[in-house]
Structure formats: structure tokens, C-alpha cells
Structure 1
Amino acid sequence: MKLPVPFIQLPLSFDASALAAEIAAFDESLWRPHPSGMPGNSALPLAAVGGDPARGDALEGPMRPTPALERSPYLRQVLGNLGAVLGRIRLMRLSGRAEVEEHVDLDYYWNERVRVHVPIVTQPTVRFSCGDAQINMAEGECWIFDTWRMHHVLNDADRARVHLVVDTVGGPLFWDLVNAGRPHTAPAQGWSPRFVAPQPQAAAPALAFETVNSQSPMSYWELRGHITFLLGEAEPHPRLQEVAHLAGLFVRHWQGLWFRHGTDEAGLQEYRDLLAGFFARIGPVAGEIRLRNGVDLGAAVRGLLGRAVRRSDATAATEETSRSAPRAAARA
């Protein structure tokens, strides 16, 4: 989700040692390699589609707790204090001397969600870059960041870094936390987060998980909003008006299909044909236009609208196809 600043620290802190002890009990076999094979990156699913850890990379479907989360009382307590509807949740591990390559999270799933980070095991030298900002997230802190900006993580230490990472659309209590949060540029002096101590004898908190996280086909109003957003993010370019014209025609044609078919399956192939035709028409031009975050407009359109209608083979989206290329490749 695009935020007004690169990083915001939420007014919560947690017992990192207690969290580290809890995750140390997990068998190594529960950790999964990065879906695109990014070296040194692995994850342990805590909430996944249907609660199935094997579907920990999927972005569509009802998110439910995995067995690992069910037997982790303090992790559940941490999640309960976020006051949010919970989407995909993972422990993300970055090996020593490894990095998360520079990228933007382009997929529709992240456009609608805030990403929460709670560092559990880390070092002062680990650097998290987002846009033109760079910080170190200390153990036990709670942060959100702007996934729409180019971001990168470097672990230059020998020990692995492990974060709890939560994707969420939020909730009333969560947005209160955000509004009370500290932008990374604001002084930390005098700002005191609320410490959430482990309560092993307390009843497990009731957690709310996503059940609906996409619509096929995408409604006309939502699609129009995404197109408007993307065009507003574009840098000046001589052919931007040409793309805007093609996008306007596409939105009007989608409107006609929506008012004719709505979500009726009888109209799905017409939606698919319209979407494919739009991608083909703007492809040669949109790839020349950059957004303010450094990604080309064509890639961003495909990221946000690629699942505007369910594919005929019903292939679910995963993280592997949902990130931008590193900046050097994106600008090639």
C-alpha cells in the first residue's frame, strides 16, 4: 500500500526474546525457500490459504492459521494486539550476508494491504531501505512501510535476520495505531510504545482472518480507481496521453460488460478478451513510461489488473509473479 512516508513505527513493542524462543521450537523442515529462488531468503507460513503451509505463497483464497501459529501463544497474542483483519502471515528469514533484492510489490494483493514487520532476531547493521529512506528496525519494534516504493533489505552480518511479517487491510483499532505512529523522520525521544508482555496463562485471543480477498471479474468502479491511480503516478512522457486515451476506452468497455454481466460466469470470456486486448495495445507504449517509484507503467498495469478476471485455467496468483524486477532490470 502506498503510504505518505516510507516508514511508520507503530506504538507497540514486544518481547523479542520470548518470540525467538517460540520460533526456535519450529522444525527446520517448516521453512520454505523463496518462490523465485532468491538466495538466502526463506519463510515459515503462519497464515495461508486454507491454513495449508504448502499454500503459503498463494495470494487468493481464505487465509487461515497454520498449525505452527495454532501452537504459538505469544505470536497469537502479538497478532491480536494489531486489531486488524489478518491476511497472509509469515516468519521471514534472511540469512547472514544475504539481501532482499530491490523491488516494488506490484500485485493487487499488496496494493490493498499494509505490511507489518516485527523484528524478532536482527542486528543493528541490518539496513532496510524504502524510497530514499533507510532505517534499522530493532528487535521487538513494530513497523509498517510503503510497499509501493522501491525497497531493499541488506543483512551484512553473519547471523540470520527473522521478522514476523503480516499483510493486512487493517481495522478500526489498527488504523488508530497507525494514526498514533511515529514517522521515521520524527524524533524517537519522548515517544514510548506500549509494551505487550507475554501472558502464557491468558486465553488465546480471537483472531480475524481474511475470507474474501479478490473479486472476479473486478467491478467497474474498482478497475476505474486503479487506472486513475496508475495514470496519476506516471512521470511526464510524450506518449502518456496516448496511453490515457487507450485506458479510458478500456474502462468504458469494461463498464459496459459490468452492467451487462456483472459477475455472471457467462461473461467471463468477454472480460478476459477485453483485458488481454488492452494489455496488447498498451504494451509497446506503456513500457516506455516510468512511474515515480521507478517501475514501468506496463508492469504496474499488469500487476494491479492481471487478476481483474479469473483465468480460464484458474491458476492462483503467488508471490513469485507479483514483484517488480530489481531496479536495474526494470529500467533496462
Structure 2
Amino acid sequence: MNAIQLPFKFDVELIKKELSQFSKEDYRDIYNSSVTLETLWLIHLIEPINDTNGLPVFLPNATLKKCPYLLSVFETFLCPVETFRIHVLDPGASIQPHRDNGYSMENGMVRLHIPIQTHKKVQLIIDKEPVVMHAGECWYCNFHKVHEVHNKSDEPRIHLILDCKVNEWFKEIFEKSLA
């Protein structure tokens, strides 16, 4: 299976309103060999803090604390979340075919996408099959497989991306989504 919609729905208008307090200067260019420079931007919303055993626990940073609705989205996921960030893919930009090694249910680490702003001319292709996502939905995708993204629209594609460790809670959500 390449992708499955999970049983969550989020208010993208509230997310957009919260994100409107940030300017382009608050986002960082993502260096990635599969993306042309200055076409894919991110803003991190959590940061690692060491627990009493010296292990990292990812907690809301100052940016996320300014966004109460996004904080509630973060708190929805009752599994260890190691990435909680906004990705912006500029109009006309593409992410070339690549794989994110290890990001699959089978490997115990999943990458989830919540589209905030998307368009019918945005194409996500996983293992040569298109995956259509709509704003506010939450999707698990097997990014361990080869995938690519093309924003053929005139507007930015904005996604909230989470990297989560699979635990019993997530397994139950995943199984319910398969039914």
C-alpha cells in the first residue's frame, strides 16, 4: 500500500490564520538534492529537549507556542512525534524522485502529511501511482518507496508534516483506517 487517509480532519483556515503571523524570512530553504534551491521552505514547530535519561523528547518551540490551534493538532497525535513542521513548495517547483529510507509502517517510523493549501495541479506520485490529498485531511504515505511531487499550479503547496514513531495508539488508528 502506498498511502491511506487517516481519520482526522483539521481546520485549514485556522492553520492559515496562525501561519499568517510569520513572514517568508521566518522560513528556511531546505537543502535537498532532489529539490531546486529556494523552492522548498520549512518552519520547524518542535525541538528536541533531553529527558532525565539524556534521550531527546520533542516539544513545542516558541513558534508553535504562538499557534494554539496548531498546538492542539500536535497534541492530537498520541505517539512520539519527532518532526512537526510546515513545508511550502513554490509554484512550478518539483521534488524529484527519491525515497525517504525507513519511513514506513514496517520500519516503525511514519511520515504523515496534512495538506493546508493544495491544488488539483499538485501531483504526489508514490511508486508510480498518484495520491490525491485534500486540504485538512491527514495521510500516511509509504515514503520508503520512490516518490516525487510536482506543483504545476500557480500557488504554493503548503503541508504540515509529522514524523512519528509507531506505537500501539498509531497501530490502532492505522488498522481502523484500513477497515
TM-score (norm 2): 0.86
* Whole-Å separation in 1 of the counterparts to 2:135 and 2:75: 19
Change in CA separation of 1:141 and 1:21 when aligned onto 2, cut-off 3 Å: same
Which has a greater percent of strand? 2
AA paired with 1:132?
A: K
| Counterpart contact for 2:46–2:83, Cα < 8 Å | yes
AA paired with 1:41?
A: L
AA paired with 1:68?
A: T
Q: Which residue of 1 aligns with 2:62?
A: 67
* Whole-Å separation in 2 of the counterparts to 1:100 and 1:11: 27
How many pairs are equivalent? 171
Identity within the alignment, %: 26
* Whole-Å separation in 2 of the counterparts to 1:114 and 1:139: 20
| Counterpart contact for 2:64–2:70, Cα < 8 Å | yes
* Whole-Å separation in 1 of the counterparts to 2:47 and 2:127: 29
Q: Where in structure 2 are the equivalents of 1:1-332 lying within 5 Å? A: 5-36=1-32, 38-39=35-36, 40-50=39-49, 61-106=56-101, 111-182=107-178
**Runs of 4 or more off by more than 6 Å in structure 1?**
none
| Counterpart contact for 2:112–2:140, Cα < 8 Å | yes
- Tell me how large the CA RMSD over aligned residues is: 2.4
Q: Name the larger-Rg structure.
A: 1
Instruction: Work out which structure has the larger RCO, using CA pairs closer than 8 Å and 6 or more positions apart in sequence.
Output: 2
TM-score (norm 1): 0.48
* Whole-Å separation in 2 of the counterparts to 1:16 and 1:87: 22
SS of alignment partner, residue 137 of structure 2: coil
Q: Deviations over 1:227-248 (max 9, x none)?
A: xxxxxxxxxxxxxxxxxxxxxx
Please state how far the C-alpha of 1:107 moved relative to its aligned partner: 6.1
Please state how far the C-alpha of 1:33 moved relative to its aligned partner: 0.4
* Whole-Å separation in 2 of the counterparts to 1:172 and 1:182: 15
| Counterpart contact for 2:74–2:84, Cα < 8 Å | no
Q: Which residue of 2 aligns with 1:293?
A: none
AA paired with 1:118?
A: I
SS of alignment partner, residue 17 of structure 2: helix
Task: Mark the runs of 5 or more structure 1 residues left unpaired by the alignment.
Answer: 52-59, 184-332
* Whole-Å separation in 1 of the counterparts to 2:155 and 2:130: 20
Task: Mark the runs of 5 or more structure 2 residues left unpaired by the alignment.
Answer: none
